[in-house]
Amino acid sequence: MEDVIIGSHVSYKKDSGLVGSVREALSYGSNTFMLYTGAPQNTIRGSIDGKLVEEAYKLMGENNINPKNVVVHAPYIVNLASSDAEKFNFAVSFLKQEIKRTEEMGFDKIVLHPGSHVGAGEEIGLKNIIDGLNQVLKNDTSVDICLETMAGKGSELGKTFDEIKQIIEGVDDNTHLKVCLDTCHINDAGYDLSDFDLILDEFDKKIGLSRLAVLHINDSKNEKGAHKDRHENFGLGTIGFKKLLDVIYNPKLKDVPKILETPYVSEVDGSKDRSFPPYKYEIEMIKSKNFNDNLLEDIRKNYK
Ligand code: FE
Ligand code: FE
Ligand code: ZN
């Protein structure tokens, strides 16, 4: 079996801290993971429990998880593109603190949604993002901010490689500015994943492959160019099993961590009562390169 750096988004709970996140990742057969330092949808953050970090590092060491491959994701509502001074300043100060928390955990990648201009227009939104990053990246740090490629839902920016390039070029000290490429998002933004090498060529020309630091691996519920951003389970969406494997096993991306953010599977189709993480089964398919026709049923059976 080829070795692949693969994991998923995992939870981070106050009482179990980073140890809980590592345990969850290991339960899926992952060798990396991504966490939010609190709830993804809000910005309430506690202090990092150093003891639990220490314990987590012991567990990661015993299980070959390299902290260099672990990813922190900033909450969705942080919006550097905002023209509202209060929201913009909040985003800047939140990100400065997020860098500190990430340093305390000994990690060096934060994924960030570039932001939405919410009606102010693309040029103004992009300028706000650049101004914000110039403030956030001022200090010396080992932490990289990875701008995520977006689906272009609503007024989201970062939906083309050109926009990402414009942001990176606008930031004075952009050494620590990297990119997270999300397969669902680029599909929904209009990129054709049937030839991923072509996409990588464009990325390399415009941004430079050395900036590609994280991959989000998701199938999509919508057709190419739909600008929707609805993730689907691995191999069950419009991108499909083969094209997603082409991304994961592309030799140019061997050292880039791959993170699944596919949706939990509900116990009964359509119900919202109970749902189960798909990652153990999706990672099995990825490692074996064999599509599991019974993916959803296997997941439901396992957690029942
Ligand atoms: Fe994201
Ligand atoms: Fe993503
Ligand atoms: Zn998404």
pLDDT tens across 3-36, in order?
Answer: 899 999 999 999 999 999 999 999 999 999 999 9
- Distance in Å, CA 267 to ligand 1 centroid: 25
Which residues span the domain enclosing 94? 6-262
| 25 lies in some domain | yes
Give yes or no for a contact between 6 and 283, defined as CB atoms under 8 angstroms apart. yes
pLDDT tens digits along 271-292? 777 899 999 999 999 999 999 9
d(CA 286, CA 115): 31
- Distance in Å, CA 258 to ligand 2 centroid: 11
Ligand (nearest to CA of 113): 1
Give how far Cα 282 sits from Cα of 30, 204, 233, 288, Å. Answer: 11, 29, 8, 10
At 182, list the tokens.
């999300």
| 256 lies in some domain | yes
pLDDT at 211 over 70: yes
| 123 lies in some domain | yes
- Distance in Å, CA 185 to ligand 3 centroid: 6
pLDDT at 268 over 90: no
| 132 lies in some domain | yes
| Three-state DSSP state, 101 | helix
Count structural domains, the chain: 1
pLDDT tens digits along 51-62? 999 999 999 999
Query: 197: Cβ–Cβ under 8 A, 6 or more apart, which residues?
Result: 250
Give yes or no for a contact between 245 and 289, defined as CB atoms under 8 angstroms apart. yes
Q: What is the pLDDT of residue 138?
A: 73
Residue type for position 120: A
Residue 102 is part of a domain; what is its CATH number?
Answer: 3.20.20.150
| 33 lies in some domain | yes
Taking residues 166-191, report their average pLDDT.
98
Ligand (nearest to CA of 229): 3
Instruction: Note residues around ion ligand 2 (Cβ under 5 angstroms).
Output: 182, 216
- Distance in Å, CA 261 to ligand 2 centroid: 7
Query: 133: Cβ–Cβ under 8 A, 6 or more apart, which residues?
Result: 80, 145, 167, 171, 177
pLDDT tens digits along 93-127? 999 999 999 999 999 999 999 999 999 999 999 99
- Give residue for tokens 């100060």: 93
| 62 lies in some domain | yes
- Distance in Å, CA 211 to ligand 2 centroid: 17
| 282 lies in some domain | no
- Distance in Å, CA 50 to ligand 1 centroid: 26
pLDDT tens digits along 64-94? 999 999 999 999 889 999 999 999 999 999 9
Q: What's the CA dihedral at 277, 115, 203, 140 to 10 degrees?
A: -100
The structure's pTM equals: 0.97
Ligand (nearest to CA of 227): 3
| 278 lies in some domain | no
